[in-house]
């Protein structure tokens, strides 16, 4: 859901400079598209360390070419996470540009879903989420150096290898870098085709709920069994009632498994449950509810594992202030930049969760993230780059 604000007329003093910047990125558009294509054509599924290491090494070189100091954080099970530091001409605290180079697409997706340009769109696995966002970082930094002769303030880029699978190897580094930064700009895709930035994200968690019952022959001894499947079904109907969509809380047992054969009363059943919360407070309440579930059939045993992985990104005063800055960067090119609250989580949840002003959805505009029609809208790229470069200066 995105919120519309009234358009104020573009600031006459800022408009000529902003238009020049827009023209700069329009003249660099073919080169930007080429860079995005290069990144999409290096496949990088989260669960393939060799593939992710390949793209992180490639990116380290790209950022080094424009004066960055790359540092690879070795990760055992995932690709190496890539930090790049850019010194700036002021003593201001750095701004952190946050992103990920892993995708949800397995190796071998490219032949069936090639990177291709069609009707003003660039298609391909991970193009929107979020390889175009990484290319925007490169071009915004390069442009600032061209315009000022140097970067006006220090910039830290952090590109992680495991965002799509929970950020287990990178989260601590992300949080440590955010703590040293004045603000965090997350280059995840914008919300919707109007290109809103994201000022709130729900928190996300996952639980595994297992029931152990007692098996017996469904024909010979039906009375002796205690069905784990029946118990699980009853428990699910309890959990379902916790859904409170008005307050942004949702519980979805999205996967269930159980039993062995139709003629056996099931001894085991499991549910995997996705939960979403809007406020940090909801996390502990929901967790308590899961952990205090009691079996209907006392011969059944319940076990609950998991929890909230990403706390919500709440629209704090710091987030709202960043959004206002973004609006004032967009305004001189006659762009009424909207904001949106979304249900999905990102690494922006971590940085906002520790109180660092964070603006998410700064990346490309498009549709179909994680789906076969994933694409970006090419004509939106120049103004996204204007926004990013302006925010690096202003944040
Ligand atoms: Zn993403």
Contact 258, 266 (CB under 8 A): yes
pLDDT at 309: 87
Q: What is the pLDDT of residues 146-203, one digit of tens each?
A: 999 999 999 999 999 999 998 999 999 999 999 999 999 999 999 999 999 999 999 9
Ligand 1 centre to CA of 394 (Å) is: 24
Ligand 1 centre to CA of 346 (Å) is: 7
Ligand 1 centre to CA of 17 (Å) is: 32
Under the banding of pLDDT at 50, 70 and 90, the label for residue 255 is: very high
pLDDT at 5: 66
Q: What share of the chain is helix, strand, coil (3-state, %, to 5)?
A: 35, 25, 35
Under the banding of pLDDT at 50, 70 and 90, the label for residue 10 is: confident
Over residues 363-378, mean pLDDT = 96
Ligand 1 centre to CA of 361 (Å) is: 9
Q: What is the pLDDT of residues 344-370, one digit of tens each?
A: 889 999 999 899 999 999 999 999 999
Distance (Å) of CA 252 to CA 114, 229, 299:
34, 17, 26
φ/ψ of 281, rounded to 5, equals: -60, -35
Q: What is the pLDDT of residues 303-339, one digit of tens each?
A: 999 999 888 999 999 999 999 999 999 999 999 999 9
Ligand 1 centre to CA of 229 (Å) is: 36
Strands 250-258, 268-277: pairing kind: antiparallel
Ligand 1 centre to CA of 285 (Å) is: 28
Ligand 1 centre to CA of 309 (Å) is: 16
Higher-pLDDT residue of 13, 71:
71
pLDDT at 13: 82
d(CA 32, CA 15): 24
pLDDT at 3: 62
Ligand 1 centre to CA of 188 (Å) is: 5
Under the banding of pLDDT at 50, 70 and 90, the label for residue 6 is: low
pLDDT at 395: 87
Ligand 1 centre to CA of 100 (Å) is: 7
Average pLDDT of the residues of the chain: 95
Ligand 1 centre to CA of 387 (Å) is: 19
Q: What is the pLDDT of residues 194-228, one digit of tens each?
A: 999 999 999 999 999 999 999 999 888 888 999 99
Ligand 1 centre to CA of 170 (Å) is: 14
Q: Is the pLDDT of residue 109 over 80?
A: yes
Instruction: Please identify which residue in the block is written with the tokens 């850019």.
Output: 86
DSSP one-letter code for 12 = T
Ligand 1 centre to CA of 322 (Å) is: 20
d(CA 313, CA 351): 8
Ligand 1 centre to CA of 58 (Å) is: 19
Ligand 1 centre to CA of 164 (Å) is: 7
Q: What is the pLDDT of residues 68-96, one digit of tens each?
A: 999 999 999 999 999 999 999 888 999 99
Percent of the chain exceeding pLDDT 70 equals: 98
Ligand 1 centre to CA of 133 (Å) is: 9
Strands 339-342, 2-3: pairing kind: antiparallel
Ligand 1 centre to CA of 162 (Å) is: 10
Q: Is the pLDDT of residue 266 over 70?
A: yes
Ligand 1 centre to CA of 270 (Å) is: 29
φ/ψ of 21, rounded to 5, equals: -65, -40
Ligand 1 centre to CA of 363 (Å) is: 10
d(CA 167, CA 350): 10
Spatial neighbors of 269 by CB under 8 A, at least 6 apart, are 210, 211, 213, 228, 229, 231, 232, 256, 257, 258, 259
d(CA 18, CA 10): 10
DSSP one-letter code for 275 = E
Distance (Å) of CA 149 to CA 29, 146, 155:
21, 5, 15
Apex 19 CA angle, 15 and 20, nearest 5:
120
Spatial neighbors of 32 by CB under 8 A, at least 6 apart, are 25, 135, 136, 139, 381, 385
pLDDT at 71: 98
Torsion of CA 25, 117, 34, 134, to 10 degrees: 70
Ligand 1 centre to CA of 365 (Å) is: 13
d(CA 83, CA 60): 8
């Amino acid at each position: 859901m995105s919120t519309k604000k009234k358009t104020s007329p573009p600031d006459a003093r800022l408009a000529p400079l902003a238009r020049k910047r827009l023209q700069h990125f329009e003249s660099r558009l073919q080169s930007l598209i080429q860079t995005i294509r290069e990144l999409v054509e290096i496949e990088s599924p989260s669960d393939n360390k060799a593939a992710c290491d390949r793209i992180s090494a490639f990116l380290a070189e790209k950022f080094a070419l424009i004066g960055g100091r790359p540092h690879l954080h070795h990760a055992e099970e995932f690709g190496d996470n890539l930090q790049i530091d850019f010194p700036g001409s002021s003593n201001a605290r750095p701004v952190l540009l946050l992103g990920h180079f892993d995708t949800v697409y397995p190796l071998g997706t490219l032949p069936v879903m090639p990177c291709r340009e069609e009707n003003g769109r660039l298609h391909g696995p991970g193009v929107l989420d979020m390889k175009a966002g990484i290319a925007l970082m490169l071009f915004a930094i390069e442009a600032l150096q061209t315009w000022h002769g140097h970067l006006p303030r220090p910039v830290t880029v952090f590109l992680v290898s495991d965002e799509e699978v929970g950020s287990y190897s990178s989260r601590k580094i992300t949080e440590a870098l955010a703590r040293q930064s004045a603000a965090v700009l997350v280059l995840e895709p914008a919300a919707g085709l109007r290109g809103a930035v994201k000022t709130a994200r729900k928190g996300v968690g996952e639980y595994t709920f297992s029931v152990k019952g007692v098996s017996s022959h469904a024909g010979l001894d039906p009375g002796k069994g205690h069905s784990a499947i029946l118990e699980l079904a009853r428990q699910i109907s309890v959990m379902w009632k916790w859904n409170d969509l008005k307050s942004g809380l949702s519980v979805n047992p999205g996967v269930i498994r159980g039993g062995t054969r139709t003629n056996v009363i099931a001894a085991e059943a499991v549910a995997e449950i996705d939960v979403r919360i809007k406020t940090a407070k909801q996390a502990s309440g929901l967790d308590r509810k899961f952990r205090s579930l009691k079996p209907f059939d006392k011969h059944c045993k319940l076990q609950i594992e998991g929890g909230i992985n990403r706390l919500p990104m709440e629209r704090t005063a710091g987030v709202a202030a960043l959004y206002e800055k973004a609006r004032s960067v967009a305004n001189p090119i006659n762009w009424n930049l909207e904001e949106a609250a979304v249900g999905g989580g990102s690494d922006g949840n971590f940085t906002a969760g520790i109180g660092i002003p964070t603006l998410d959805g700064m990346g490309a505009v498009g549709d179909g993230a994680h789906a076969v029609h994933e694409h970006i809208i090419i004509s939106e790229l120049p103004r996204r780059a204007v926004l990013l470069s302006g925010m690096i200066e202003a944040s």
